Amino acid sequence: MPTSKQLNVAVVGATGLVGSEMLKILAQRKFPVGTVRVFASERSVGKQVAFNGNTLKLERLDESSFKDVQVAMFAAGADISLMYGPIAAESGALVIDKSSAWRMKANVPLVVPEVNPNDIRDNEGIIASPNCTTIPLTMVLEPLRQKVGVERVIVSTYQAASGAGRPLSDELEDQMEAIVAKKKPEVNATTHQLAYNVIPGGWKPQQYGYNEEEMKLANETRKILHNPELKIAATCVRVPVQIGHSESVIIETMEAIEPEDVRALLERARGIVVEDDPVARIYPTPLHVAGRDEVFVGRIRKDMSSEKGVALWIVSDNLRKGAALNAVQIAEQAIEMGVIPK
Ligand SMILES: NC(=O)c1ccc[n+]([C@@H]2O[C@H](COP(=O)([O-])OP(=O)(O)OC[C@H]3O[C@@H](n4cnc5c(N)ncnc54)[C@H](OP(=O)(O)O)[C@@H]3O)[C@@H](O)[C@H]2O)c1
């Protein structure tokens, strides 16, 4: 048994891009772990993953996998979360789910610790962590909402290959190598060749010409900000970047606000770094944000088409703040609030 301060943790999807980042972050942040159990697909059972200078053996998921586990982090896709999330919660673990399976369910809090930490208290055993583009967007919108109100948001994303997991991340590398070798790149992991290209799609089509990713970004933002009526429209685009999602955002506020005041507001916001001096060529790019924990904001300027509008540029590491880090921070916040151990 762990001591009162240590928690037994399960990581489901521990070989994946998000799961392996979770293991790194648990160690880096000295999360109070007792034991760590790691799970992946049949393909990986028996193999090992690294954790904090040691190795852990990958196990097969079954109904008894979560016995004596206090925190179960899921990063193995929605189907696995739907099937095993309730089993883990029934066993007494607090489930923190990185997939989209539970995000929009009424009895499941959808949490960004810097934005809506108190929603954690409403959990019934499962807490969802938002999409990798939603997390940074809400972190920027919340301080503006508090100060001047947010009327409408128009966002275009520039999403890295790793956002779609290892298959697309590996395929981008393979395509780059094929191009250099003057061979024809293979396309399997998404709809079009990503190397030397940008793809305004690849997600499941949904209503009104939008796709699943765009609707997630809109609906999850509304839920986290507790504003079901928020006017928001998104265009999601995949770009040939390995790590780091960027977002170009136009925000119409309820009261007018000057760009300098937006800059000052965001400089004070927890988890945000403002890098904004375009004349000196200072603005965030995915290449230098990869590996960082904060959400970076630059290009803060007036929306020249509106009386009450601001335009800005957001970049964050999709595997860290967009995924694994946010999940670990939810667990840390739950400990601080006394939600775990139960
Ligand atoms: N990548 C991102 O930026 C990001 C951001 C936010 C949320 N997410 C979400 O996080 C989840 C994981 O994404 P990822 O990018 O890490 O994907 P990934 O790199 O493709 O990894 C998928 C993981 O799931 C495991 N898995 C697959 N089938 C399984 C099964 N039947 N039983 C147990 N484990 C199984 C895989 O194990 P094997 O290695 O054995 O196949 C692997 O560990 C997804 O739900 C994704 O939507 C990802």
Cβ(163) to ligand 1 under 6 A? yes
Q: Is-contact 31 9, C-beta < 8 A?
A: yes
| pLDDT more than 70, % of the chain | 99
Cα dihedral across residues 96, 20, 14, 80: positive or negative? positive
Ligand 1 atom, smallest distance to 77 CA: 45
Cβ(203) to ligand 1 under 6 A? no
Structure tokens that stand for 177 in this block: 């190598």
How far is it, in rounded angstroms, from Cα 210 to Cα 233?
Answer: 9
Cβ(16) to ligand 1 under 6 A? yes
Residue 214 has a pLDDT of 98
7-130+323-336 against 134-160+198-318: fold identical = no
The bridge status of strand 309-316 relative to strand 245-253 is antiparallel
Cβ(24) to ligand 1 under 6 A? no
| pLDDT more than 90, % of the chain | 98
Among 129, 123, 58, residue whose Cα is nearest residue 97: 129
Residues of the chain with confidence (pLDDT) below 50: none
- Single pTM value for the model: 0.97
Look up 245 and say whether it is catalytic.
Answer: yes
Among 340, 260, 242, 338, residue whose Cα is nearest residue 300: 260
β-bridge mates for residue 54, sequence order: 51
How far is it, in rounded angstroms, from Cα 194 to Cα 190?
Answer: 8
Residue 4 has a pLDDT of 55
Q: Is-contact 320 20, C-beta < 8 A?
A: no
Residue 2 has a pLDDT of 58
Residue 72 has a pLDDT of 98
Residue 342 has a pLDDT of 77
- CATH code of 7-130+323-336, in short, is 3.40.50.720
pLDDT digits (tens, 9 = 90+) for 162-204: 999 999 999 999 999 999 999 999 999 999 999 999 999 999 9
Ligand 1 atom, smallest distance to 169 CA: 19
Domain ranges of the chain: 7-130+323-336, 134-160+198-318
Q: How far is the CA of 75 from the centre of ligand 1 (A)?
A: 5
Look up 192 and say whether it is catalytic.
Answer: no
pLDDT digits (tens, 9 = 90+) for 278-333: 999 999 999 999 999 999 999 999 999 999 999 999 999 999 999 999 999 999 99
- CATH code of 134-160+198-318, in short, is 3.30.360.10
